[in-house]
Amino acid sequence: MDKELNILILAAGKSSRIRLNKSKIFLEINSKTLLEHSIEFARKLEPKNLYIIINPKFKFLEKKIKNCKFIYQSKPSGTGSAVKQFLKKKPKENKLLVTYADTPFLNIKSAKKIIKRLDHVDLVLYSFMSKNNKNYGLIKKDKNNKIMEIIEYSTANKFDRKIQLCNSGMVGISKKNYKNIFNIKKNAISKECYLTDIVKISYKKKVSIENIVEHNKKYLIGVNTLKDFINLKKKIRDKK
């Protein structure tokens, strides 16, 4: 067990793009839901505490899933708000790894690298290289090659769209950087708080930031749409 590690699985999203009559976290691959796969991954890292932030209408999961701590978010307002809600519990542990229930098949070796780097760095991103990205955030660096912010591809200018270093979602945050999470503001358009904004805030506060590069893209597939789910299911089946 890593006595300094908490893992937080974000699972309270609206699942609006999946266009089904149930939350995407209950979609099944190999007889397990995406949420169950996410929990299985997290447990392999042996955290002191495993938290799941979820909609209160799924409170029945508390009886079904043991050795997890549930946090309920009735009105999802972005990934940043979810992490803020967790931090209001004032965790004493020095490391936090944030994962997403809709991206359950992560690389355990990469996750361990992120956790280890948190001994020396205050923010560690899980990244990958892509020449054809149009969906993932772009990791922008300054002239000294320091990570300065994550830019959404849809709002990036033509120069920034040439950036090949992309953000995949999983992130490690040190206790020293917890306070900066509360500086994340609501997006003017969506009215949601995005966890990715912690990068720009950390850079301005001169907080140390690094990234781990994932070279095997099979670990990066997330589920936002039904097409994504079918694609993920096929890749997992083909891997067997």
Task: Decide if 76 contacts 13 (C-beta within 8 A).
Answer: yes
- Confidence at residue 184, expressed as pLDDT on a 0 to 100 scale: 96
Q: Total structural domains in the chain?
A: 1
- Whole-model pTM: value is 0.92
Task: Decide if 149 contacts 203 (C-beta within 8 A).
Answer: yes
- Confidence at residue 158, expressed as pLDDT on a 0 to 100 scale: 92
Whichever domain contains 11, its CATH number is 3.90.550.10
Task: Decide if 153 contacts 138 (C-beta within 8 A).
Answer: yes
- Confidence at residue 203, expressed as pLDDT on a 0 to 100 scale: 97
Q: Are β-strands 165-174 and 123-129 bridged in parallel, bridged antiparallel, or unpaired? A: antiparallel
- Confidence at residue 15, expressed as pLDDT on a 0 to 100 scale: 56
Query: Strand, helix or coil at 5?
Result: strand
Other C-beta atoms closer than 10 Å to the C-beta of 114 total 22
The secondary element (H helix, E strand) that includes residue 3 is: strand 2-11
Residue with tokens 């300094």: 4
**Cα Dmax for the chain:** 52
Q: Is 24 exposed, middle or buried (0-12, 13-18, 19+ CB in 10 A)?
A: buried
Residue 206 makes CB contacts below 8 A (sequence gap 6+) with none
Query: Strand, helix or coil at 93?
Result: coil
Per-residue pLDDT of the chain (240 residues; tens, 9 = 90+): 889 999 999 998 765 556 566 788 998 998 899 999 999 999 999 999 999 999 999 999 988 898 999 999 888 889 999 999 999 989 999 999 999 999 999 999 999 999 999 999 999 999 999 998 888 899 999 999 999 999 998 889 999 999 999 999 899 999 999 999 999 999 888 889 999 999 999 999 999 999 999 998 778 877 877 888 888 888 776 565
- Confidence at residue 18, expressed as pLDDT on a 0 to 100 scale: 60
Task: Decide if 24 contacts 10 (C-beta within 8 A).
Answer: no
Residue with tokens 């992490």: 83
- Confidence at residue 238, expressed as pLDDT on a 0 to 100 scale: 59
- Confidence at residue 125, expressed as pLDDT on a 0 to 100 scale: 98
- Confidence at residue 240, expressed as pLDDT on a 0 to 100 scale: 52
Range of the domain at 142: 2-239
